[in-house]
Structure 1
Amino acid sequence: MSSIASKTYETVPACRVAFLGLGVMGFPMAGHLAKAGHSVTVYNRSPAKAQAWVAEFGGAAQATPREAAAGADIVFSCVGNDDDLRSITLGADGAFAGMAPGAVLVDHTTASADVARELYAAAKNLGLAFVDAPVSGGQAGAQNGMLTVMCGGDAAAFEKVQPAAMAFSRAFTLLGASGAGQLTKMVNQICIAGLVQALAEAIAFGQKAGLNMPQVLDVIGKGAAQSWQLDNRGKTMVADQFDFGFAVDWMRKDLGLVLDEAKRNGSRLPVTALVDQFYADVQAMGGHRLDTSSLIKRLR
């Protein structure tokens, strides 16, 4: 059984692409590129995952980011954090060392705006281009090829990569100069943190009040309280199910980036800072890998 859902792909010229990082997001994203007809070479820190990808989708695997990136028109990446991103792009075995002038690296890691600008400058010095392009939509969005992608960088580089990137996207949008994609993802995470905490409090309150919460969610979901979180996580929160979606550990990493950026730009984020501490409580309860909707566990 395929790890990706079927999708109708737009007809675009086939490219030689590389994909670096085959985690829960990168594995299906790279799969959609292959299914769309692109020639894909992959790299993963643990080679077994790269070999499993090749067994499912074809293409080729290489032992280093540099080798994977050699000859690629576009290099996509999706890794864990700023340091992981530097490790696959910079240095003798990094992707930049293998890319030909004019090639573009599109990074889907949720990272800092600072590292995006750093790598943009490093790429430009080498005659390359860099686009920061964090995603929203979670593992399901990656598997369905329906991610929302927020981009920062030069318009020419963005336009070069957008047709291929639509293989795994429903929206792929340029939002400004280098770093704008990462800053937009921070806005996204601020919204989600507040929404999930409000939903957790509402469900806990309704359960204490003796209401039929699945029925209540059906009703309020047709009004002004409707949100993606309510539609997709409300009833599973009622049922105490948290074994899917975006992990608490990942959300804390993202909120750390948000709060660091807020210190730099002078933003006041009292609710976001509070919810970050609530997620720390969930981690202390052993919920590191639970879905972010597990915030409600603190209230029970």
Structure 2
Amino acid sequence: MATVAFIGLGVMGYPMAGHLKTRGGHDVTVYNRTEAKAKKWAEQFEGKHAATPAETAKDKDFVFSCVGNDDDLRSVTIGENGAFATMKKGAIFIDNTTASAEVARELAVEAERRGFHFLDAPVSGGQAGAENGVLTVMVGGDEKVFECAQPVIEGYARAVGLMGPVGAGQLTKMVNQICIAGLVQGLAEGIHFGKKAGLDIEKVIEVISKGAAGSWQMENRYKTMNAGKYDFGFAVDWMRKDLGICLEEADRNGALLPVTALVDQFYKEVQKLGGNRWDTSSLLARLEK
């Protein structure tokens, strides 16, 4: 059992912290910007909550965060009452936020200066993956630090891999989002085309999902897409944030992402339809508007 802090109890962080307590058996203290949610978590999982990130992280072996973006991450780490102010020597900070590789490297340098360690560890698997404890975790950092943290991370994960030095986890997550963007657009166009051609989409997917066209998106999203239901899942706003990170990194490293840039604009159209919080599969909605 380790002493653990978890900062950020959104749709991902809330169940992830829960798994660290129930499955991992760790002593977990949580922080959330909305204190009522932290209190609710503490009551549900028989854990603890604290009033600030600094108080939450004090003297803990492992400190996790899962917040919104680079600015949020800086706020809960090096901002006023941030976690870095109270972390003990040799502790490990594990960031599950999908953020930039740049901020991961920045915080790793600051952590080293203060005598503890930093791992960037973005996740994939969505809300369902978090609730079921079967996330995929892509980690960047020192190998020995990773080996120490891996058994704890496995409390909410199905697969955990070290991708390289600090920042490599975030870069791998960018690859993940780039691939998903193209897949979802292709699936949306395929379903749209099938409907226009008068085909039975259920029968079509039943056949093609068993062949080369099959994907997680097809298996898990085609029914709701076909029914025009999008009020769940990974929000369009979040995907646009992630694709923005991908495109900014591509500007730095010289990668060409024409499809990603195009799909990002398609998601902008979905936002204009009022779909900010719709699932990413709502790309079909812009074709059927």
Displacement of 1:92: 4.5
Task: Please point out which of 186, 189, 205 is paired with 1:201.
Answer: 189
Structure 1 residue aligned with 2:178: 190
Displacement of 1:207: 0.2
Displacement of 1:157: 1.3
Task: Please point out which of 26, 44, 47 is paired with 2:13.
Answer: 26
Displacement of 1:15: 0.4
Three-state SS of the structure 1 residue aligned to 2:56 is: helix
CA distance, structure 1, for counterparts of residue 56 and residue 143 of structure 2: 25
Give the letter for the 1:285 counterpart: L
Give the letter for the 1:17 counterpart: V
Structure 1 residue aligned with 2:41: 53
- The residue correspondences of 1:1-300 to structure 2 (distance < 5 A) are 14-35=1-22, 36-300=24-288
Three-state SS of the structure 2 residue aligned to 1:106 is: strand
Whether contact under 8 Å (1:217, 1:235) holds in the other structure is no
Displacement of 1:91: 3.6
TM-score (norm 1): 0.95
Aligned residue pairs total: 287
Percent of aligned positions that are identical: 65
For the aligned residue pairs, the C-alpha RMSD in angstroms reads: 0.6
Any stretches of 5+ residues in structure 2 without a counterpart? none
Give the letter for the 2:163 counterpart: L
CA distance, structure 2, for counterparts of residue 289 and residue 92 of structure 1: 30
Whether contact under 8 Å (1:248, 1:292) holds in the other structure is yes
Give the letter for the 1:23 counterpart: G
Deviations, residues 33-77 of structure 1 (Å, cap 9, x unaligned) = 000210000000110000000010011100010100011100000
Deviations, residues 255-274 of structure 1 (Å, cap 9, x unaligned) = 00000000000001000000
Structure 2 residue aligned with 1:3: none
Whether contact under 8 Å (1:65, 1:94) holds in the other structure is yes
Deviations, residues 74-114 of structure 1 (Å, cap 9, x unaligned) = 00000000000000000451111111000000000000000
CA distance, structure 1, for counterparts of residue 51 and residue 114 of structure 2: 23
Any stretches of 5+ residues in structure 1 without a counterpart? 1-13
CA distance, structure 1, for counterparts of residue 118 and residue 214 of structure 2: 37
User: Following TM superposition, where does structure 1 have runs of at least 4 consecutive aligned residues deviating by more than 2 angstroms?
Assistant: none
TM-score (norm 2): 0.98
